[in-house]
């Protein structure tokens, strides 16, 4: 979660400089939201997990359809947003696409990986070092371990389990990235 926020802030900084946009609090909020958007399915998971015996909240962690549908929705309904938000549709599309892409890349470093090419390919891909590997076997092992005791676990236990599955050092990288980005924001936009 902290990494998503940090990535959202970094993306906001880069996209704002690219589009020559002045500092805008709502642009920063939108960028943070878009970077964490794929995890919005955790709410559905929290509500439905016991009823349907769910072990993962990866319902919308599918880059091709999510990014395509998101960009299409922003372009189709952007005219409603533009009158209320002080930035262009192209700016919103860039924040959405890059924010979601960064989220999927960092989730690819995790133990569950991402189905990058779904619906064309059902393979789970993971990133290890600088290599992309087939993560089907490792992800299945983790799904199997998540299935054990799923009916008895509280939602807070589910959150703790997922926090432990994050790649090593992610919180440290997130913290230093957040500090660096805040300093850059203050320096550039002041």
- Phi and psi for 127 in degrees, rounded to 5? -110, 125
* pTM of the complete model: 0.81
**Whole-number pLDDT of residue 163:** 64
Residue with tokens 């203050």: 186
Radius of gyration of the CA atoms of the chain, in A = 18
**Whole-number pLDDT of residue 172:** 64
Q: Which residues of the chain have pLDDT under 70?
A: 1, 57, 81-82, 160-176, 190
Instruction: Tell me the pLDDT tens digit for each residue of 8-43.
Output: 888 998 999 899 988 888 888 889 999 989 988 888
Closest CA to 75 of 63, 64, 88, 60: 88
**Whole-number pLDDT of residue 82:** 66
Contact status, residue 63 vs residue 116, Cβ threshold 8 Å: yes
**Burial class of residue 114, CB neighbours in 10 A (0-12, 13-18, 19+):** buried
**Burial class of residue 9, CB neighbours in 10 A (0-12, 13-18, 19+):** buried
126: left (phi over 0), alpha (psi -120 to 50) or beta: beta
**Burial class of residue 78, CB neighbours in 10 A (0-12, 13-18, 19+):** middle
Which residues, in sequence order, are CB contacts of 100 under 8 Å at separation 6+? 34, 35, 37, 38, 63, 66, 67, 70
**Whole-number pLDDT of residue 170:** 61
- Ranges of each domain in the chain: 2-189
Q: Quick one: which H or E segment has residue 125?
A: strand 125-128
Q: Tell me the angle at which helices 25-36 and 89-108 cross, rounded to the nearest 10 degrees.
A: 40
149: left (phi over 0), alpha (psi -120 to 50) or beta: left
**What three-state secondary structure class fits 63?**
helix
**Whole-number pLDDT of residue 64:** 94
């Amino acid at each position: 979660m902290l990494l998503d926020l940090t990535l959202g802030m970094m993306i906001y900084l880069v996209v704002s400089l690219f589009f020559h946009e002045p500092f805008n609090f709502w642009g920063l909020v939108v960028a943070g939201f878009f970077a964490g958007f794929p995890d919005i399915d955790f709410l559905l998971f929290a509500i439905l997990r016991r009823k349907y015996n769910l072990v993962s909240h990866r319902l919308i962690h599918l880059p091709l359809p999510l990014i395509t549908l998101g960009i299409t929705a922003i372009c189709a309904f952007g005219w409603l947003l533009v009158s209320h938000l002080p930035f262009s549709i192209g700016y919103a599309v860039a924040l959405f696409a890059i924010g979601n892409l960064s989220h999927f890349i960092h989730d690819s470093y995790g133990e569950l990986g991402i189905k990058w090419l779904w619906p064309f390919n059902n393979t789970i891909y993971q990133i290890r070092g600088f290599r992309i590997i087939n993560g089907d076997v490792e992800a299945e092992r983790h799904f199997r371990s998540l299935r054990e005791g799923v009916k008895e676990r509280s939602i807070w236990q589910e959150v703790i389990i997922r926090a432990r599955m994050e790649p090593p050092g992610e919180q440290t990288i997130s913290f230093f990235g957040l500090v660096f980005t805040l300093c850059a924001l203050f320096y550039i936009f002041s």
